[in-house]
Amino acid sequence: MANLLSKFEDRIPIGPIKEAALHKQVPIHKHSIWYYMGGISLFFFLVQGVTGVLLLFHYQPGVETAHASVLRIMTNVDFGWLIRSIHSWAANLMVATIFIHMFSAYFMRAYRAPRDFTWYSGLALLGLTLTFGFTGYLLPWDDMAYFATKIGVDITADTPIVGKELAYILRGGEDLGGLTIQRFFAMHVVILPAIFSMLLGLHLLLVQIHGNKVPDSIEERKAYRKIPFFPNFLYADLFVWLIAFNVLSILAAVYPWPLGPEADTLAPAPKGIHPEWYYMAQFYVLKLISEPIAMAFFGLSGLLWAAVPIWDPTTASGRRARLATYVGIATLLGFIALTLIAYATLDAGP
């Protein structure tokens, strides 16, 4: 075995990677549980890759074929319903864990230099994940998918300057149709995975280089110890992945992901059309206030959020640090409250 390994290392020298992994230490303290969140997001992404490829073997994009092929996957393909259910559940759990991961990195102030590029690359991963969700939602071409995407693309069209062109490119014309499915499909299975994988590589490399951030209050008191990443923390990571896998399997098997009736593009939009839960807060704000003001609000608050390494750059806990904490709490509570109100008022109409 040792001989085989050394032959392998002659061809592909993995020494430096092994060295880095062996030297990485993970701080252990009362907030260490948040260090698992990035890993769980990674786990769900891997699940998406595997189940997505299996779905690709049967899914057929196109106005005539999309819905029928998903129906066939659910009724005629062995375990097709389970694979589709896992893919849909894991997508939602991935978004949820990425949000938790982002907020925990934020509250630990892991966005500060030298981890600011880890923060920016993470934000790009979040943007890509939300786009994965948006493009995937349309693919089954059922009622909800069609009308929710129509609303989403119409909102895109109102973005200043580039909106109209962008919406035209997304739709492949003036209306949602075969070309829209084709383009969303291309983004979902080729463009997004390619960009995502490269960015994820960068993100993980930066985490490897800079190590995990210890929250300031714990760092000051030196109230932590360190354990080796390999194998100690990796085993703990894998154990958490096992729990995530169990939760995912139970949800997917007990609550199979539903499929609505095929989209009728000539019928009026049925009541209660809504996007996925992670777009509900924005969806509600757009109902409340006029679109240009809502767009300006999203743009500015997004910019403020992304730029936190610039406006709270120091390690000292001063006025800006406190402001960052208040901004974080307000954003988190605001997002949860708006999402809940959006669901509660769903059928009330605009």
Q: How far is residue 103 from each of residues 122, 148, 198, 332, measured CA to CA in Å?
A: 11, 27, 23, 8
By C-beta, is 56 or 113 nearer to ligand HEM? 113
C-alpha torsion sign, points 109, 113, 114, 120: positive
Q: Show the tokens assigned to 323.
A: 């402001």
Q: Is the C-alpha dihedral spanning 236, 223, 331, 310 positive or negative?
A: negative
Nearer to ligand HEM, 38 or 152 (CB): 38
Nearest-approach distance from CB 78 to ligand HEM, in angstroms: 30
Binding site for ligand HEM (CB under 6 A): 35, 37-39, 41-42, 45, 98, 101-102, 105, 108, 110-111, 115, 118-119, 122-123, 125-126, 129, 200, 203, 207, 212-213
CB 99 within 8 A of CB 40: no
Separation CA 182–CA 175 (nearest Å): 13
Cβ distance to ligand HEM smaller for residue 46 or 162: 46
| Complex with ligand HEM: residue 67 or 203, whichever CB lies closer | 203
Judged by beta carbon, residue 49 or residue 270, the one nearer ligand HEM is 49
Tell me how far, at minimum, the Cβ of 239 lies from ligand HEM, in Å: 15
Shortest CB 215 distance to ligand HEM, Å? 9
How far apart are CB 178 and ligand HEM at their closest, in Å? 31
Q: CA–CA separation, 71 vs 73, rounded Å?
A: 5
> At its nearest, how many Å lie between ligand HEM and the CB of residue 92?
13
Contact assessment for residue 259 and residue 71, using Cβ atoms and an 8 Å cutoff: yes
Which H or E element spans position 98? helix 80-107
Residue 125 CA, chain-centre distance (Å), reads 7
